[in-house]
Amino acid sequence: MSVTTMSSERDTFSAPDRAPLLHWMIFTGLCAFAGVLLWQYGLIRLMVASDRTYISTIICMLYLASSLHCLWRTLAIAREADASREAALMLSKNAATLSWRDALPPGLVSDHIHNLAVKAETQASGRVDQTLLLRSLADRLRGSNGFGAFASDTLMKLGLLGTIIGFIVMLAPIAGLDATDRAMMKSSMGLMSDGMAIAMYTTLAGLVGSILLKVQYYMLDAATARVFSQAVTLTETRVVPALERVHER
């Protein structure tokens, strides 16, 4: 390997990857800015006051909780990406001697490499097949990322539930409506207006919250896939060949 290639590899692996966290912060910052504008124009207050079922408020609270969960998972994936780069840099220098085994940074990728070493020692000879271990690594890296799909679907269903409740409230006065009673007509029109407001606001809150959560967790899944891809490349090009060479001697 040339000096230029080694230098380029060292620069690539030593630079911490803050892209997942940066992307989350930019996206959340834009959402927060939009929320401030809606609050300033009184739209959020109008939604809360008009929705007597409080489903819109529940949707907003669940969205905030899910966003914090996404932040927690994003930080975890960012740490795994940094640990994977440190391991790759270490292996680029000491892969042939196996002196890296006790010096790898803590992380899921390092655990996977240790498991590969244990498997190579146990089977003593032959090719080291890491297919099953890679499946385990993928599941551990994904962790609770699947909560995003559940939360997004829940927000959508809550919005639809608010729509149904709103239409029930809107259509309830029609059965006993008397066209000759102006007071009843006025009261019925007020109830119908309240029902329509509930239906529209809950539907809007559910749809917007669901879409925004999907975007956040899409970025998280993309970052997780990059870490897994780096782990596969690292183990296939450095760890597995080194282990096979050692046990062939």
Statement: the pTM of the whole predicted model exceeds 0.75: yes
User: Does 2 score more than 50 pLDDT?
Assistant: no
- pLDDT-derived band of residue 181, with 50, 70 and 90 as boundaries? low
Query: Each residue of 189-208: pLDDT tens digit?
Result: 767 788 888 889 999 999 99
CA count, 13 A, side-chain hemisphere, 107: 24
User: So what's the pLDDT on residue 127?
Assistant: 78
Angstrom distance (rounded) from CA 80 to CA 108:
7
- Phi/psi of residue 150, nearest 5 degrees: -65, -45
Query: Each residue of 123-152: pLDDT tens digit?
Result: 766 677 888 888 999 999 998 999 999 999
Alpha helical stretches, state H, 172-237? 182-234
Q: Where are the domains of the chain?
A: 3-248
User: So what's the pLDDT on residue 160?
Assistant: 93
Q: Name the residue with tokens 């020692």.
A: 121
User: So what's the pLDDT on residue 214?
Assistant: 95
User: So what's the pLDDT on residue 5?
Assistant: 42
User: Does 76 score more than 80 pLDDT?
Assistant: yes
Q: Name the residue with tokens 């551990």.
A: 140
Angstrom distance (rounded) from CA 51 to CA 60:
13
User: So what's the pLDDT on residue 3?
Assistant: 40
Instruction: Provide the total of helices (H) and of strands (E) in the chain, helices listed first.
Output: 9, 0
- pLDDT-derived band of residue 49, with 50, 70 and 90 as boundaries? confident
Mean of pLDDT over the chain: 82
Lowest mean pLDDT among 8-22, 174-188, 224-238: 8-22
Per-residue pLDDT, averaged over 41-65, amounts to 91
User: So what's the pLDDT on residue 163?
Assistant: 92
